[in-house]
Amino acid sequence: MPLQLLGPGGLGPDLLLAAVFLPLAAALVCFLLPRLAATLGLISALLTAAATLALMLGVLAGGGMEVQLGGWQAPLGIRWRSDGLSAALMAMTAVVGAMVSLYAAAYFRHTAYERTYFWPIWLVLWAALNALFLSADLFNLYVTLELLGFAAVSLTALGGGAAALTGAIRYLLVSVLGSLAYLLGVALVYHGCGTVDIALVAACVPDAPRPALKVAVAAMIAGLLLKTALFPFHVWLPPAHGSAPAPVSAVLSALVVKASFYLVLRLWLDVLGGGDGDGSGRWLAELLGVLGAAAVIWGSVLALRQARLKLLIAYSTVAQIGYLFMAFPLAVAGGAAAWTGALYLALAHGLAKAAMFLSAGSLLRFGGHDRIAELDSAVHRLPLTLTAFALAGVSIMGLPPSGGFIGKWLLLEAAFQQGRFVLAAVILLGGVLAAAYVFKVVGHAFTPAERERRLRSVPPGMEWSALLLALAAIVLGLTLPLISPLLQVGTDAAVAPPVSAAVALTAGGAV
């Protein structure tokens, strides 16, 4: 079977290394040869995407795989591991990354300064993302988290204006603060367990000293929530995401925020085994659920009130992040399908939000502004871009057959099964509010123009990449039979905890 060639016994480990080292090496070359940056950057981005997608097929066919960097074994060496959860997120990153690269090649064509610096920083960011998804070591995760943060901050500042710089500095302060809180947790885990390898820490967690472990978990999760911009830690996100150039906003909103969410999920499932066993895990999950629900309402309401398109999309990200955390109380109470729902929402949001920011960038380029009330008649000039925006909106609202629909459906099902009607109501209300802000934009775009303005043409590469991403978000909803088994690969407790674990958790919660 040809797919087995991509698995653990064949090319798999090489693909795993390529997913990190290819963009990293390409970033260095792009930095050294600024004249060739755009060409080299685009080629290496497409190669990276191909390697990552091949890795996903390998994981799907042959199961999870591992690499010990430099041949050093776990307690001292660094372990990289690819299972279903990381392969799915890396594949989403690859699709978004390839499309954003195509878009950026057209977007930065006439701006030499930004073209020179976008490619090296973006490729470093991609390498950091892949390394983060692959790391199976709490300290190495810290390093990748910081690399990711610095690359993201530098991209935010790319525009160079006062607004971009202010957004970038605020982002940097928040990002470093979050990483330090995470590192404090790692220090306390090392104190309790004497190792930072995730598998070894997980084995030691049941015997670790309780108070230190609780402080460690609290510090790590608080730091990551700050970086994920969960309500009430979201205030830094809209200015940073709203002031960056369009491809950068797409990358920040679709991918960077997902990385710290992935880390919360990884800690929760692999290190804590789905809760920390003495009832406080249950409380933490409830707290995350309440914050998530608040984020859905607050983010959607603020999105509705924005006058500028990019800020509207940024606040919509705040709302959509809320959904990801609403899965925690549902999953801990036994609805393991809620994890699949949250992951589906994360993947669908990544594709759809990138499509939205890219279309916003095209509209901005076209009309010279992104004031929603003055988007009139854009639909006649940029039909592809408006289609992309509307299709992405379908996924954000959670209408069938999009990926967002599957995710929300799984969450709703779990909520109804457990009688959590408040959570179910918030999930539905969030969908209605999302429909309101998407139609606010689409409605203005359909109104006839009142007066002629100077309009600039938009290259087809910018329109098509956004449309392809939006289509991917829709098609994602039809791939449940493919992605559902992928998410189970290489997981013992992750995504679908065995019945015994679920029972133990419920019993633990009752104590």
Partner 1 sequence: MTQPVFWGLVGMALVVMGLYALIVHAHLLRKVLALNIMSSGVFLVFIGLARRAPGEGTPPAADPVPQAMVLTGIVVAVAATGLALALIVRLRALTGRTTLGDEGGH
- Applying CB under 8 A, the residues found at the interface with partner 1 are 76, 139, 142-143, 146, 150, 153-154, 157, 160-162, 165-166, 168-170, 172-173, 176-177, 179-180, 183-184, 186-188, 190-194, 196, 204, 207-208
The minimum distance between CB 183 and partner 1, in angstroms, equals: 5
3-state SS string for 281-305:
HHHHHHHHHHHHHHHHHHHHHHHHH
The minimum distance between CB 107 and partner 1, in angstroms, equals: 23
Find the DSSP H helices in 33-111: 37-62, 84-107
Q: CB atoms < 10 A from the CB of 501, how many?
A: 16
Of residues 154 and 377, the one with the C-beta less far from partner 1 = 154
Of residues 183 and 327, the one with the C-beta less far from partner 1 = 183
Q: Which residues contact 405 (CB under 8 A, 6 or more apart)?
A: 395, 398, 399, 477
AA letter at 23: P
The minimum distance between CB 128 and partner 1, in angstroms, equals: 12
The minimum distance between CB 172 and partner 1, in angstroms, equals: 6
* Rg, Å, the chain Cα set: 22
CA atoms within a 13 Å half-sphere pointing along the CA-CB vector of 338: 32
Of residues 101 and 195, the one with the C-beta less far from partner 1 = 195
Of residues 183 and 438, the one with the C-beta less far from partner 1 = 183
The minimum distance between CB 95 and partner 1, in angstroms, equals: 29
The minimum distance between CB 113 and partner 1, in angstroms, equals: 13
Contact 125, 221 (CB under 8 A): no
The minimum distance between CB 119 and partner 1, in angstroms, equals: 19
Tokens 């499509």, residue located: 355
Q: Using CA atoms, how far apart are residues 250 and 260, in angstroms rounded to an integer?
A: 16
Pairing, β 79-82 against β 65-68: antiparallel
Of residues 157 and 311, the one with the C-beta less far from partner 1 = 157
The minimum distance between CB 141 and partner 1, in angstroms, equals: 12
Of residues 172 and 466, the one with the C-beta less far from partner 1 = 172
The minimum distance between CB 146 and partner 1, in angstroms, equals: 5
Of residues 38 and 123, the one with the C-beta less far from partner 1 = 123
The minimum distance between CB 178 and partner 1, in angstroms, equals: 11
Q: Which of 179, 125, 110 is nearest to 155 (CA)?
A: 125
Of residues 92 and 188, the one with the C-beta less far from partner 1 = 188
Q: Which residues contact 462 (CB under 8 A, 6 or more apart)?
A: 103, 106, 107, 358, 361, 362, 365, 385
Q: Using CA atoms, how far apart are residues 147 and 154, in angstroms rounded to an integer?
A: 11
Of residues 39 and 111, the one with the C-beta less far from partner 1 = 111
Q: Which of 85, 146, 132 is nearest to 343 (CA)?
A: 85
Tokens 């995730």, residue located: 198
The minimum distance between CB 187 and partner 1, in angstroms, equals: 4
Of residues 154 and 395, the one with the C-beta less far from partner 1 = 154
Q: Using CA atoms, how far apart are residues 203 and 210, in angstroms rounded to an integer?
A: 14
Q: CA dihedral in degrees (397, 401, 407, 412; nearest 10)? A: 80
Tokens of 165: 């710089």
Q: Which of 107, 124, 104 is nearest to 20 (CA)?
A: 124
Distances from the Cα of 476 to the Cαs of 86, 386, 468, in angstroms? Answer: 17, 20, 12
The minimum distance between CB 259 and partner 1, in angstroms, equals: 16
Tokens of 320: 């959509």
Tokens of 203: 């084995």
The minimum distance between CB 425 and partner 1, in angstroms, equals: 34
Of residues 219 and 363, the one with the C-beta less far from partner 1 = 219
Q: CB atoms < 10 A from the CB of 76, how many?
A: 8
Distances from the Cα of 303 to the Cαs of 13, 134, 345, 373, in angstroms? Answer: 43, 34, 19, 14
Of residues 68 and 417, the one with the C-beta less far from partner 1 = 68
Of residues 102 and 196, the one with the C-beta less far from partner 1 = 196
